[in-house]
Amino acid sequence: MSELLRIQNLSKAFGRREVLRDFNLAIESGRVYGLLGRNGEGKTTLARILMGVIPADGGSVLYRSRPIAFGDSSYKREFGYVPEDPFFYEDMTVRGLLAFNARFYPKWDRKRAASDLERFSLDPKSRIRTLSRGMKLKLGLAVALAASPEFLILDDPTSGLDVPTRQDFLRDVIRELAASGTTILFATHLVHELERIVERLLVLCGGRLILDDDFDKVKAQHQASLEDIFVRLTAGA
Amino acid sequence: MFTALYLKEWREKALVFFFELGILGLLLAAPFALRGKTDLQEWLVYAILLLFFPFAALILGASGFEAEFREGAWAYLFSRPIGRPAIWLAKLSALLSMFAALWLVFLIAWAALPAVRQITSGPRVLLAPIAPLTWSGFPWWSLGQSLFLLMVAFSLSLLHERHFSILFVALILGLFFPAAAWSLIISKTGGFMAWLAPAKAFRTLLISQVLMALAFAGASLRTLVRSDFSQPRKQVRTFVGSFTVFVVLAAAGTVGSALFIPVPAERHLDFMGSSDGKAVYATERGLFSYNSASGRVRWLTRRRSVIYWFSSIANGRLAYTVQNFESRRDATEEIWLSNTEGTGRKRLIGRATPGAWPPDDSVQGLTISPDGRTIAVLTRNAARQGKSRPSATTTLWTINSDGSDLEKRSLEALFPDGPEENLWVAFVAWAREGKVLIILKRHSIRPVHWSLWAYDLERKTASKVRDSAVPASPWRRGNSTPRDLLVIQNRYRDEGPRTLALLNLVTGEETEIAGSEEPHSFSAQWDPTGEKLLFFDKRPDPEGRASYFLTVYSLTAGKAVAERITTDLDGIVHHYWTAWMPDGRSVLTLDIKGRCLRILGTDLQNTGRIDLPVRIKEPSGLEVVGDTVLLQDSGIHSLWRLDLGKMRWKRLY
Which positions in chain B touch A101 (Cβ < 8 Å)?
Answer: 80
Confidence of residue B420 (pLDDT cuts 50, 70, 90): low
Q: A residues 140-179 near B, CB within 8 Å? A: none
Give the whole-angstrom CA distance, residue B219 versus residue B239: 6
Higher pLDDT, B239 or B478: B239
Using a CB–CB cutoff of 8 Å, tell me whether A232 touches chain B.
no
Contacts 24+ apart (CB under 8 A), B395-398: B395/B358, B395/B361, B396/B437, B396/B439, B396/B455, B397/B357, B398/B374, B398/B457
Higher pLDDT, B410 or B253: B253
Q: Within a domain: residue B629?
A: yes
| pLDDT for residue B480 | 60
Using a CB–CB cutoff of 8 Å, tell me whether A231 touches chain B.
no
Domain range list for chain A = 3-85+150-236
- Is B81 close to A77, i.e. CB distance below 8 A? yes
Q: Within a domain: residue B303?
A: no
Q: Which of A48, A52, A87 sits opposite B73 (nearest CB)?
A: A87
Which positions in chain A touch B1 (Cβ < 8 Å)?
Answer: 103-104
Q: Within a domain: residue B411?
A: no
Rounded to the nearest angstrom, the minimum Cα separation between B212 and chain A is: 26
A106-133 pLDDT tens trace? 889 999 899 888 888 889 999 988 988 8
pLDDT at position B241 over 90: yes
| pLDDT for residue B26 | 86
A38-60 pLDDT tens trace? 888 888 899 999 999 889 999 99
Q: Which of B8, B67, B229 sits opposite A100 (nearest CB)?
A: B8
Tell me the backbone φ, ψ of residue B470, rounded to 5 degrees: -135, 160
- Are β-strands A183-188 and A151-155 bridged in parallel, bridged antiparallel, or unpaired? parallel
pLDDT at position B85 over 50: yes
Give the whole-angstrom CA distance, residue B48 versus residue A69: 47
- The set of residues, in sequence order, having a beta carbon less than 8 Å from that of B121 and lying 6+ positions away, is B134, B137
3-state secondary structure of A92: coil
3-state secondary structure of B421: coil
Give the whole-angstrom CA distance, residue B643 versus residue B653: 15
- Is A14 close to B73, i.e. CB distance below 8 A? no
Containing domain of residue B200, as a range? Answer: 2-260
- Is A103 close to B3, i.e. CB distance below 8 A? yes
CATH of the domain at B629: 2.130.10.10
Q: Give the lowest-confidence range in B89-103, B219-233, B377-391, B595-609.
A: B377-391
B435-492 pLDDT tens trace? 889 888 887 766 778 888 999 989 888 888 888 888 887 655 445 667 788 888 886 6
- Is A76 close to B3, i.e. CB distance below 8 A? no
Using a CB–CB cutoff of 8 Å, tell me whether A34 touches chain B.
no
Confidence of residue B242 (pLDDT cuts 50, 70, 90): very high
- Is A51 close to B78, i.e. CB distance below 8 A? yes
pLDDT at position B64 over 60: yes
Q: Is B384 exposed, middle or buried (0-12, 13-18, 19+ CB in 10 A)?
A: exposed
ipTM of this complex prediction, to 2 decimal places: 0.90
Q: Within a domain: residue B320?
A: no
Q: Within a domain: residue B425?
A: no
Give the whole-angstrom CA distance, residue A121 versus residue A140: 13
Rounded to the nearest angstrom, the minimum Cα separation between A56 and chain B is: 9
B368-395 pLDDT tens trace? 998 889 999 988 876 544 444 455 678 8
- Is A75 close to B229, i.e. CB distance below 8 A? no
CATH number for the region A3-85+150-236 comes to 3.40.50.300
| pLDDT for residue B179 | 84
- The set of residues, in sequence order, having a beta carbon less than 8 Å from that of B652 and lying 6+ positions away, is B290, B297, B630, B639, B640, B641
Instruction: Please state the domain count of chain B.
Output: 2
Q: Do residues B259 and B304 touch, judged by C-beta distance below 8 A?
A: yes
- Is A88 close to B230, i.e. CB distance below 8 A? no
Which positions in chain A touch B221 (Cβ < 8 Å)?
Answer: none
| pLDDT for residue B154 | 93
Neighbours of B156 (CB within 10 A): 26
Confidence of residue B571 (pLDDT cuts 50, 70, 90): very low
Q: Within a domain: residue B418?
A: no
| pLDDT for residue B104 | 93
Q: Give the lowest-confidence range in A22-26, B430-434, B525-529, B573-577.
A: B573-577
Q: Within a domain: residue B332?
A: no
Q: Which residues of B401-429 are buried (b: 16+ CB within 10 A; e: fewer)?
A: beeeebeebebeebbeeebbeebbbbbbb
| Residue B25 C-beta-side C-alpha neighbours within 13 Å | 7
Q: Which of A71, A90, A103 sits opposite B84 (nearest CB)?
A: A71
User: Which of B214, B229, B260 is a domain's end point?
Assistant: B260
- Span between the terminal Cα atoms of chain B, in Å: 53
- The set of residues, in sequence order, having a beta carbon less than 8 Å from that of A144 and lying 6+ positions away, is A80, A81, A82, A152
Q: Which of A55, A83, A105 sits opposite B81 (nearest CB)?
A: A105
Q: What is the pLDDT along chain A (237 residues), one digit of tens a residue?
A: 688 899 999 999 988 888 898 899 999 988 889 898 888 888 889 999 999 988 999 999 999 889 998 888 889 999 999 887 777 788 889 999 899 889 889 889 999 899 888 888 889 999 988 988 888 888 888 898 898 899 999 888 777 677 777 777 766 778 788 888 889 998 887 777 777 788 888 888 888 888 888 888 888 887 777 778 888 777 755
Which positions in chain A touch B225 (Cβ < 8 Å)?
Answer: 71
B156-206 pLDDT tens trace? 998 877 777 888 888 888 888 888 887 777 766 545 555 555 667 778 888
Q: Which of B8, B72, B80 sits opposite A76 (nearest CB)?
A: B80
pLDDT at position B355 over 80: no
